[in-house]
A and B are shown apart, each in its own frame.
Chain A
Amino acid sequence: MSSNSWGSPDLDQRPPGMFRVTVADWLQECPFCGYVAPSIDKGDAKARSFVDTPEFQAACLDPLADPASRRFLVRAAQDAYYGDRRSAFLNTLCAAWVADDDKAQSSEALTLRLHAAAHLEGRPIKSIDTRLLLLDVLRRAQRWEAAEALASELTAEDLGYPFADIVAFHRGKIEAGDSGRFTIAQALEQAETEEDF
Chain B
Amino acid sequence: MTSFYAPRHLEHIAGLEKRFGPVSDEVATALRSLVRVICQYEDPVDAAPFLERCVSIVESLHGPRSVLPDLDKWIGHAGGADFEHIEPFQLRRLAIKTEIYGKDNREVAEECESLGMGYASSGGYAKARVLLERSISIKEKIHGAHSAEVAAAVGLLAETSARLKKWADAKADLERSLSLKQKIFGKRSEEVARCLLATAIVLANAGTRQRSGSSRESIDEAVAAFKRGLGMLEKRFGPDSLEVQVALEEMIRAFVDCRRFRAAEPLLQRLLSVYERTYGEDAAALLWILAELAVGYADAGSDATEPVLERGFELLQNFLDARSPIFRHEIMDYAGNKSVLYGEGVLEKLVQASETFRRNLRKRWSASR
Interface size of A by CB at 8 A reads 20
B306 lies within 8 A of A185 (CB): no
Cβ of A30 within 8 Å of any chain B Cβ, yes or no, is no
Q: Provide the residues of chain B in CB contact with A13, threshold 8 Å.
A: 364
* B332 in the interface (beta carbon within 8 A): no
Provide the A181-197 mask, 1 if CB < 8 A to any CB of B, else 0: 00111001100000000
Contact B310 A127 (CB under 8 A): yes
Bound complex: CA of A88 vs CA of B341, how far in Å?
Answer: 33
| Residues in chain A near residue B303, CB distance under 8 A | 90
Which residues of A line the B interface, CB within 8 A? 5, 8, 13, 86, 90, 126-130, 132, 161-163, 166, 183-185, 188-189
Per the bound structure, the CA–CA distance linking A181 and B366 in Å amounts to: 17
Chain B interface size band reads 10 to 19
For chains A and B in complex, what number of residue pairs have CB atoms within 8 angstroms? 32
Minimum CB–CB distance from B354 to chain A (whole Å) comes to 12
Q: B4 on the interface (CB 8 Å rule)?
A: no
Interface residues of B (CB under 8 A from A): 303, 306-307, 310, 361-362, 364-369
A68 to chain B, nearest CB (A): 20
The one of A90, A126, A130, A184 that contacts B366, using a Cβ cutoff of 8 Å? A184
In the bound complex, CA of A124 to CA of B77 (Å): 65
**B365 to A132, Cβ gap below 8 A?**
yes
Q: Could you say which of A132, A163, A185 contacts B367, with CB atoms under 8 Å apart?
A: A185
A185→B368 contact, CB < 8 A: yes
Q: How far is the CA of A185 from the CA of B324 in the complex (A)?
A: 51
CB pair A8–B310 under 8 Å, yes or no, is: no
- Whether A86 pairs with B367 at a CB distance below 8 angstroms is no
CB distance from A124 to the nearest CB of B (A): 12
Q: Chain B contacts of A162 at CB under 8 A?
A: 362, 365-367
Instruction: Give the complex CA separation of A126 and B354 in angstroms.
Output: 14
- Considering the chains assembled together, what is the distance between the CA atoms of A188 and B368 in angstroms? 11
